Structures are given as structure tokens and as C-alpha cells.
Amino acid sequence: MRFEINGQWVDAAAAPGQCLRTFLRELEHFEVKKGCDTGDCGACSVLVDGTPVHSCVYPAFRAEGTAITTAAGLGTPGSLAPVQQRFVDHAGFQCGFCTPGMVVTASTLTEHDLEDLPRLLKGNICRCTGYRAIDDAIHGRHTPADGSAPCALPADGLGPVVRTGTRATTQAGQTPTAPTPPARGYVGSSTHAPASERVVSGLEPYTLDVAVPGLLHVSVLQSPHAHARIRSIDTGRAAALPGVHAVLTHTDSPATLFSTARHEDRTDDPDDTLVFDRVLRFRGQRVAAVVADTVAIAEAACRLIEVEYDLLPAVFDPVLAAAPGAPLVHGEKDAAASRVADPSRNLVAELHGEYGDLEAGLGEATHLVTGTWQTQRVAHTHLETHGTIGWLEHAGTPEQRLVLRTSSQVPFLVQREICHIFDLDPAAVRVFTARVGGGFGGKQEILTEDLVSLAVLATGRPVQYEFSRSDEFRVAPTRHPMRVGVTLGATDDGRLTALALDVLSDTGAYGNHGPGVMYHGSSESVSLYSVPNKRVDARSVYTNNLPSGAFRGYGLGQVIFGVESALDDLARDLGVSPFDLRRLNSVRPGDPLVVTHVEGDDLIFGSYGLDQCLDLAEAALARGNGVPVPTGPEWRVGEGMATAMIATVPPRGHFAQASVTLCADGRYAVRVGTAEFGNGTTTVHTQLAATALGTSPDRIDILQSDTDTIGYDTGAFGSAGVVVAGKAVLGASTALAAVLRQAAADARPGTPADAWLLEPDGLRCGSTAVSLTELAARAAAAAPAGDASVSTTPVDPTDVGTTPVDPISIGSAPAPSAPAALTTPPTAAPEPAPSSTVLRGTSSEDGAVRSVAFNVQAFRVAVSTLTGEVRILQSIQAADAGVVMNPAQCRGQIEGGVAQAIGTALFEEVLLDGEGTVTTSVLRNYHVPLLADLPVTEVYFAETTDELGPYGAKSMSESPYNPVAPALANAVRDAIGIRPYELPMSRDRIWRLMHP
């Protein structure tokens, strides 16, 4: 059929049952994204003859004779449509995966529509931003961070983020301070993401946005049973189907047990998983997979696989799972070999410890509070589902390499584990990511890479495996549901004398992240408070529910919900303000950080802004925001707050290497391992390099998240992108700056190196100047012939994986340096290149010493006694982010974290039927926040300078999420006089509290 795409006539045939989304992507219009495939998220929005539709539910055959417009048809980099430009100007995206659909939708709105925007945008889900920036972008206005009335935006960029409060006293550190006021593009300025123009036009390639000739597809047969053993499996009919290249089952699986969870230390997680297991422990687990020419053939072949199962008893309730006599999920595992605490009790991990004397502390108390809180399963709902494309490079030769292009936060850890599972040499595996469409912890797992590796190795062909949205809900790990018992004791003066925790975490059928989430959940939630007597009892247990995994906050949010709710009850009991209760009992610099023992000296107060955060949030709440209480006698009003602390780096090592090279064209190439998934680290890395090198961000190219690009990076988790990887980038940039000064001095004899100043085009020493291109040329001329150790070829980061060519070259940016040894973390900085041959700075960072960051959230709410509706009248977050590297972006991280947490607090719940089947398997049954659901959150930054982070920065990705649910629960409690103990605080639950 003939139709037009973005003004060009196309003649192509669609399959009868094909939807327009996949048809357009087949035609390499990768700007049309898949978020849900059910018409709910809007990422695939296109215009058909000017009418916006969700192309995933639009029959492709109806496109005949029409004119289709995609995001790329609205405008392209350099010639953006006004609406696209506004999304750039207002930082109206983070991961950007929803943005093409958002922009297409917004392009159809008129001035008159803006009042009705919440309704008109209900079919466009953004999981990252919290929508304020999107709302501003569509309106073309700027809402100040203090939530006051929006103003017209100055044409050249974002307005300043409000800063109040006094600068905290910190120790004098080695860290250079940021220039003030920040120069455009330097740290401290609201620099736009380097990929902005490509993102808003849909031309930034994500994981699967690449055309690979000869690509095969995977479809998985999933277990219909919660616990069963495969008695027999007959793949004969499936294998015989034309177009099928392989049918893979447990007989093809490597025997190496591993964990889907990825950490710096692989022994952090139990080895309890196989690529294919003969025993199925949750509904949806892989039984078999078909590799075929098309998804349709693979699906058809899956239906032809005949399996006989022996059903096994199953357990779904973590309390029952921990009880004697419960069906055992991994009963056959060797505890030591698999690192499972006690397979005979479904116990993955446990922690029992006491500091001081809890009984004595409780005895001393005059006020006691106790309660048990329950959190639910939450789905990450990153808009880009999990997916991997794999292929062989130099197939059949000694140089054969398996290459994986995957949607991961941890490409280097994936590489390591794929090598472990398949017994491959690190040099034989390359893993890289394109821009990743959101993660929130969900991509700190191996969910598709292992199967693609097996399929590629089995067929020798390029293979793609893409999760559906239903796979995300039914198979991908969720946030760990936790039961959290808290007991607090205090004396009349408000001082805590005892704090006890009893945590039961449902890790589901596999133990990925089970131990880590349990330990981390019980750490900063407890160590935040100076209490002489503490006890923690925590268990993480297997059940036959779908696995739980890493989720933003990594356990802290669940436990903080209990602890901060209990503190609120204590404040009521004592008759003191909840702010004052925190002021009295929170740790201060100099205090020991204690969970069940004093934390090691790797965790320090590199800065301290909790006092400022409490003041800022309290003042904002007292000030109010003028939003009226709804009329009617049924509305009750309340206020609440909660606090959270987080270590700025995960414990026990988080490694990053970076290099910065001056290229022949005078531009800088930054090589760093961490991935960009909407966290904005690429922007900050650009700013860090620009600041250290005295240049502007547009002269810096970032090459990242590729095991070929740089030696090593533990990964983009634990909020490490700025404080670890960023610190390495800063180190490398600073080293290069010194190299350049020396090179300039060498080029102009008689000038001292330290007299040279770096400028965007070159270096200057008084009236003497030398251009960067000259220095690069001099260095190249001095290099021995054939030295390819480091390329100085100018790079084009937009070229990563976009050229539809032989898959071998997919994703290869510049000629990479040889991969360093990958089996062990680096212990020292890579050898700096001699400045006479290559102008390059390198650095590595080990994250060995960690600081702490703080967040305080406060709410004013109105609750309807008739319906249980919780209406947020005011939302406030004060954050201690150290020196804020990029105010607009950091504000966006906080707004997005608050938004995701409001979803957790009020709406979201992955429901199971009690027998292991997820019933909320599509987006329309799992409500993630929409524009209509969220208030503008006022964001305030404490003024602190961290002695560890680059230019004094601290991490601020996970932590904004953590205090939100208890702050909201405390406000609801204040309003209705009844304590909510369970999340989400859905309208039906809140109504039932008042109508028992």
C-alpha cells in the first residue's frame, strides 16, 4: 500500500493483523516508541492525516493513502518545531523515551486546550519527570521551584532554582569550589542535556532503535504454574515450523547458577538461577524459547511446544513461607554454594543484631510506640521495556566476539556475568548500551541478555529479545514488599531510648537483590537516629511469587515508611512538632552512624544539610501556598513530614574509570562507563569536563556505557553517576588540563606550564596563544607510526548505532582502546598516556569513602471522609544535594522521585491472585501517576559543599523518593485521626479506615 510518512511517499505491505507502530518501526521510523502496546502510554503517538492516534492500537492497513507524521516529521535537530524547542528549553524530559509521543500529542493542542491539559495528556505517561517540566514546556512558561505562580520564560534558558538557608559549615576539603555565578555550561548552571535535540525529535537511538539485517526474534514459553517440575518437553513440532532457527530449553542451558541481580561483588546475591531451569518457581518463568525469523513465527512455534509438568506445592505468603513445614522454593540448593542463608526455611538472608541494650532502652522509656507497616509490590514501569540485541563479531574466527546491545544500567557487570555463565573470556564479550529509556533499578538485572547470548551462540545469527509491557508486570522483578514492625521508646524530653525493627521481605521466587535490599533497607533508616539502644531483626524469604528486585531507594523506602510513621506517632504522643523530634534525635556530624554496630569509617559526614532541610521544609509548610481546602464538610485537612538519609555511594566499592582526550579537531572526547538512563549524568559529566577544561559543553563528546570504550565502570546504580563516575570524569579532565598546559609550554618554549590558561579554542599565556588543534596536531606528529592505543579521531556520538549497516559496526563509535582486564576491579588509575604522543587525561574512582545526603518531605492534604480521596494541597521537598551541579536537572530528579513516590503512596500496586498470577498485567490496570494526579512540588536545596563529591556535589537520584510515602501517611493521619499502615493509601483503603 502507498502512504506518506513525514512528507515522503512510501510503498510497503503490512501484515493483516499488524499495528501501525510496528509497521512504522519496520520502515525504520524508530522515533515511534513502544511503551505499552495497549494504547495507554502514548509513546507511539503519531498523526494520521493530522489526527493524533496511538499507533500501537491503530490497524496498519488503515494507513493506506494517509499522511503519517511522527516526531521526526515535526522537526529535526537544528530545525526543531517550536513545541520541540520548548521541551529542550524547559528540560521537559529525563530518559526521553516518552518524549516523541509527548511532542506529537502536544503539537495538536491549541491555546484553548491548555486549560484542559490534565485530561488531554492522560494518554501520555512520563515516568521520570513528574510532569511539571512537561507542563511548563507545553505552556511555554516557567514555574519557579518554590511553586509560586508561573512566569514567562526568558528566551535563553531556565530560571534560577530557589536557594535559601545558610551555608553549612564543612571541613575545608581538597575539592575545588564551583565558580560563582556559574558560567553557562559549567557546573552550577542548568545546562541542557547534550542529546536534547535528538530526543525531542525522536532521533536519539535507544536499545532497539536500530535496523539489523538478518535479525532473528525470540519468543518465550512461560510457565503456567507457580511451582512445577518439567517432566517432559517436546519441541519437535515447534522446531519443524518453517522460519524457526532454534528451540531452547533446560537441556540447552548452561549449568552455571547465577543471579539476575548485578553488583560489583557477584557474591552479594545468591546463585539460584539458570538460563533455563527444569524447576519452575513462579508463573511466567521461562520454560522454553523459540528463535525465529519473526516474532509471529516464534510465537506460533511456542504454541506448538508440548510440556508435561509435575506440579509442586507452592507458597505465596511470606509469613507462611518462613513457617516450619512450608513448601520449599529452593530446598535442593546448597546453602554455601548458592549463598542462601537457609534453603530449608526459604530464608535467603537474615540480619539479627543489637546495639546497646534494647530491653534497657525500652525500660527507660516513658513513651512507647509500636506498629507494623506493610508495603506493596511496585513496578518500575520504565517506559522502555527490557530488551537486547546480540550478534557475533568475527564469527568463526579466533577473534569471535559476542556483542550485546542492551537496555541496562550495568553493561560492565552484564559482561562479567555473561562471561561467567557461558564460560567466555572477557575479550570475547562486548556489552554496550545506547541511551536507556528509564531504569529505576529495574535494569540492574540480567533479564534478557542471558537468553540472547544463548540464542546467538546457538544460531550464530543476530537475535533480539524484547519484553512486552505484560512481561514487565508479570515477570520482571518488582520492588520488594515488606512487613515492617517498628518499636520506639522515648523519654519525656523527647529523646529516643530504643529503636527496634522487625522486617520481613518477600523476595519472591529468586533471591536477586534479596539480601542487599534487606540490609540496605535496615541501614540509613536506622542510622539516621542517635539512639543508644537499637535492635534489627530482618529476614528475606523466598515465595512462589514473581521475583522482587532493585528499586529506587533499594529497601530504604519500605523501612522508612515504618520508621517515619512511628516517629510521627511518637511526636503526637509527646506533644512535640515532628520537625523538632527529628532535630532532637537525628545524627549530626561527629556522631557515630549505627545500625546494629558502628558503621565503618568508609561512611563519613562529607557535608551535613539535614538541619537546613528541616528548616526549609518547615518554613515552606508554615508559609503555605494559598491552595484552598475543597469546600464541603466532608474534607479534613492535615499536615505531615518525614525525613530520609542515604549514603551517597553503595558500600564495598563502586568503581569508575574515565579518560578525556583532545581530538584532532580540537574537541574533547570523554570516555566513561556509566550509562545514561534519564538520570542526567551525561549532562553533568559534560559540565564537569567543561568546567575543568575551561570550555563549553558543545565542544565535548561523551562516549559511554560500552565495555569497549573505557576499562571499567561498576554501573549506574546506587546514585553513583555523579559522585563516582562524575568524579572520575573530573579527575580525567583535570589531568588533561595539566597535560595541555605542559603541551602548550612545550610548544611555546620559555613559558611556564602553570601560566597557561585554558580557553575554549586553545590556551593563552599573556599575549601568547596556542590552539587546541595545533596541540593535537603536534602530539599526533610525535606519536610513533601505527600507535593506535588511543584514537584521536573526531567522534560523532549521534552515530552510535544509528547507521543501518552490517551489525558488526553497530554501536561502534570511534576505534576503541583495547579493553582492560575486566575480571577484577581496577585498583589503580590507568597508566596515563605520555603527553608527548596523546593528549589525554585519565582517572579512576573507587567510591571507597562515602558521604551522606538528606531529604525532607512535607505535605498538606485534604481527605474526603465520604470517598477516601486524598487531595494534595501542598508538596514540599528540601534536599541536601551538596553543591548542585545542574539546578534544573537536579530539581527534575527530585520532582520525578516525589512523583514516583506519590504513585507508590496513593495508587500503584502489582496485584496477584494469591496463587502467583499477576492480575495487573497491563498499564490500564496499574495506575502510574499522570499529569492530572500530581501537584507541583516545591523544591528547596540546602547549601552544603561535600568534601567528597566532585565540586562538592552529592547524589540525588534515589533519595527524593524515600521520605514521600511516610510524609503523606503522616499528613493523612493528621487529617483523619487514623493511622494508615498499608500502601498504597488508595481511596478505598482510606475510606475503609474511616468506615471500618
3-state helix, strand, coil in the chain (%, to 5): 30, 25, 45
Q: Is 120 in the site for another protein (CB under 8 A)?
A: yes
Q: Which residues contact 217 (CB under 8 A, 6 or more apart)?
A: 291, 292, 293, 294, 295, 298, 463, 464, 465, 466
Greatest CA span in the chain, whole angstroms? 86
User: Measured from the CB of residue 863, what is the shortest distance to another protein in angstroms?
Assistant: 14
Which residue in 441, 539, 533 sits closest to 484, CA to CA? 539
Q: Helices 578-585 and 556-574: crossing angle, nearest 10°?
A: 110
Q: Is 424 in the site for another protein (CB under 8 A)?
A: no
User: Measured from the CB of residue 387, what is the shortest distance to another protein in angstroms?
Assistant: 15
For another protein, which is the closer residue by CB, 366 or 867? 867
Q: Is 986 in the site for another protein (CB under 8 A)?
A: yes
For another protein, which is the closer residue by CB, 105 or 540? 105
Q: Is 987 in the site for another protein (CB under 8 A)?
A: yes
Q: Is 911 in the site for another protein (CB under 8 A)?
A: yes
Q: Which helix (H) or strand (E) holds 951?
A: none
Q: Is 135 in the site for another protein (CB under 8 A)?
A: no
- Choice from 468, 768, 793, 836 touching another protein (CB under 8 A): 468
Q: Which residue has the cell 542529546?
A: 195
For another protein, which is the closer residue by CB, 62 or 163? 62
Kindly provide the residue ranges of all beta strands, DSSP E only, lying in 135-215, ordered along the sequence: 141-142, 151-152
- Choice from 107, 643, 920, 970 touching another protein (CB under 8 A): 920
User: Measured from the CB of residue 634, what is the shortest distance to another protein in angstroms?
Assistant: 9
Q: Is 913 in the site for another protein (CB under 8 A)?
A: no
- Choice from 39, 680, 711, 718 touching another protein (CB under 8 A): 39
- Choice from 925, 943, 979, 982 touching another protein (CB under 8 A): 925
User: Measured from the CB of residue 239, what is the shortest distance to another protein in angstroms?
Assistant: 19
Q: Is 303 in the site for another protein (CB under 8 A)?
A: yes
Burial of 212 per CB tally in 10 Å (0-12, 13-18, 19+): buried
- Choice from 27, 61, 755, 837 touching another protein (CB under 8 A): 61
C-alpha to C-alpha distance for 736 and 661, rounded to whole angstroms:
7
Q: Which residue has the cell 522509656?
A: 365
Binding mask 278-297 for another protein (x = CB under 8 A): ----------------xxx-
CA 220 → CA 292, 554, 707, distances in Å?
A: 11, 29, 28
C-alpha to C-alpha distance for 615 and 894, rounded to whole angstroms:
18
For another protein, which is the closer residue by CB, 864 or 945? 864
Q: Is 38 in the site for another protein (CB under 8 A)?
A: yes
According to DSSP, the residues that pair with 508 across neighbouring strands are 542
Q: Is 594:608 a contact under the CB 8 Å cutoff?
A: no
Count of CB atoms within 10 A of residue 641's CB? 30
Q: Is 927 in the site for another protein (CB under 8 A)?
A: yes
Q: Is 73 in the site for another protein (CB under 8 A)?
A: no
The piece of 50-58, 143-151, 190-198, 384-392 that touches another protein (CB under 8 A) is 50-58
For another protein, which is the closer residue by CB, 51 or 148? 51
- Choice from 123, 331, 426, 832 touching another protein (CB under 8 A): 123
Q: Is 298:366 a contact under the CB 8 Å cutoff?
A: no
Q: Is 118 in the site for another protein (CB under 8 A)?
A: yes
Which residue in 626, 548, 599 sits closest to 376, CA to CA? 548
Q: CA neighbours within 13 Å on the CB side: how many for 206? A: 33
User: Measured from the CB of residue 474, what is the shortest distance to another protein in angstroms?
Assistant: 13
Q: Is 919 in the site for another protein (CB under 8 A)?
A: yes
Residues that bind another protein (rule: CB under 8 A) add up to a total of: 62
CA 308 → CA 73, 244, 287, 300, 879, distances in Å?
A: 51, 22, 11, 19, 55
Q: Could you tell me the end-to-end alpha-carbon distance of the chain, in angstroms, rounded to an integer?
A: 61
The cell for 486 is 517498628
Residue type, 228: A
Q: Is 995 in the site for another protein (CB under 8 A)?
A: yes
The piece of 18-26, 669-677, 854-862, 887-895 that touches another protein (CB under 8 A) is 18-26
Q: Is 148 in the site for another protein (CB under 8 A)?
A: no
| Helical segments of 216-351, H only | 236-240, 295-302, 318-321, 335-338
For another protein, which is the closer residue by CB, 22 or 944? 22
Binding mask 861-900 for another protein (x = CB under 8 A): -----xxx--x-----------------------------
User: Measured from the CB of residue 802, what is the shortest distance to another protein in angstroms?
Assistant: 25
- Choice from 261, 930, 971, 983 touching another protein (CB under 8 A): 930
User: Measured from the CB of residue 610, what is the shortest distance to another protein in angstroms?
Assistant: 33
Q: Is 556 in the site for another protein (CB under 8 A)?
A: no
The cell for 317 is 505468603
- Choice from 234, 252, 293, 299 touching another protein (CB under 8 A): 299
Q: Which residues contact 650 (CB under 8 A, 6 or more apart)?
A: 263, 264, 717, 718, 720, 847
For another protein, which is the closer residue by CB, 420 or 871? 871
For another protein, which is the closer residue by CB, 468 or 791? 468
Q: Is 257:279 a contact under the CB 8 Å cutoff?
A: no
Site for another protein in 736-795 (CB under 8 A): none
Q: Which helix (H) or strand (E) holds 56?
A: none
Q: Is 402:457 a contact under the CB 8 Å cutoff?
A: yes
For another protein, which is the closer residue by CB, 303 or 623? 303
Which residue in 383, 429, 381 sits closest to 405, CA to CA? 429
Q: Which residues contact 799 (CB under 8 A, 6 or more apart)?
A: 813
Q: Is 612 in the site for another protein (CB under 8 A)?
A: no
Q: Give the residues lining the site for another protein (CB under 8 A).
A: 15-19, 22, 37-40, 42, 45, 51-54, 56-59, 61-62, 105, 118-124, 294-296, 299-300, 303, 468, 866-868, 871, 906-907, 909, 911, 919-920, 922, 924-927, 929-930, 932-933, 986-988, 991-992, 995
